[in-house]
Structure 1
Amino acid sequence: MLTATPLYAGLITLLFLWLSFRVVGSRRSQKISVGDGGDALVMQRMRAQANCAEYAPLGIILLALAELQGMPVWLVHVFGLMLLAGRVVHAYGFSVTPQVFKARVWGMYLTIAMLAFMALANIFHALF
């Protein structure tokens, strides 16, 4: 039974929705129906949302699989916090103007580290 993963899935989904609402708001204010319409702010907000959509689902899936395989719940929380913090820090760095490049980099470090550790943990558990 999953007890920790749903917390991070829910929080990351709220982050994704916030990023989505920012895209919708920018499109509405610029009267852009599809795409970015050549507007730099709309493009920036779309990429922040898309980046979350590209990385978060895989992290949540890996987290859930590890928890289902019996990873101690405290470790699930450690890796869940890594993913959540990585996505929040990256979204912040990407979404503000001017962008905060160090936040983007640290957000990706946390996200990539979480994905790598979780991938290896799942592979190790499956083989042994």
Structure 2
Amino acid sequence: MDTIVSGHAAALWAGLNLFLLLILSLLVVRLRQKHKVALGDEGIPELARAIRAFGNASEYIPSGIAALAVLAVAGAAPLAIHVVGFILFAGRVVHAIGLSNSGGASIPRAVGMVATWLAYIFAGVALLLSAIG
């Protein structure tokens, strides 16, 4: 496979996920300024949800970006990288929206997590196949 094209595919999804992290971070900062909170959430549910949405994304996105990068270096097909990247990004967006709107269980949160796990599974299988194939 053409590692340059694979690299471009990985760069697309890594870039989009980085901008998602930036947006979620800016939402936390905006709410901190609005509520004049420097540390923690001071019991403000809206701020607590924004902090968790950013925190959850920052827990899952770096591993996904790493998987995309290794897939590209290993010469995975650009389509495989696009599938992993799209599922990861869409899952993280849907999860962040669900968590930002409700602190409790919600369909968007569940769909977002399942999508993230599917992206991890697909990437893991593709990496293992690349390693042994």
Fold similarity call, TM over 0.5 = yes
User: Helix, strand or coil for the counterpart of 1:3?
Assistant: helix
Taking the aligned partners of 2:103 and 2:84, their CA distance within structure 1 comes to 30
Taking the aligned partners of 2:120 and 2:35, their CA distance within structure 1 comes to 36
Match of 1:69 among 58, 74, 78: 74
* Aligned pairs, number: 128
**What per-residue deviation string (whole Å, max 9, x for no partner) do you get for residues 22-76 of structure 1?**
1011111111111112211111100000011000110111111112111111111
1:3 aligns with 8
1:45 matches 2:50: yes
Taking the aligned partners of 1:42 and 1:113, their CA distance within structure 2 comes to 29
The one of the two structures with greater contact order (alpha-carbon pairs below 8 A, sep at least 6) is 2
- Alpha-carbon contact 1:93-1:99 (below 8 Å) kept: no
1:15 matches 2:20: yes
TM score, norm. by length of structure 1: 0.92
1:123 matches 2:128: yes
User: Helix, strand or coil for the counterpart of 1:107?
Assistant: helix
Match of 1:84 among 73, 82, 89: 89
Give the alignment's Cα RMSD to 1 decimal: 1.6
TM score, norm. by length of structure 2: 0.88
- Give how far 1:17 is off: 1.0
User: Helix, strand or coil for the counterpart of 2:37?
Assistant: coil
**What per-residue deviation string (whole Å, max 9, x for no partner) do you get for residues 88-127 of structure 1?**
1111111125767111111111101111221232133223
The answer for unaligned runs of 5 or more in structure 1 is: none
Taking the aligned partners of 2:116 and 2:103, their CA distance within structure 1 comes to 22
- Cα distance change on mapping 1:6 and 1:123 into 2, 3 Å: same
1:103 aligns with 108
Match of 2:32 among 24, 27, 30: 27
The answer for unaligned runs of 5 or more in structure 2 is: none
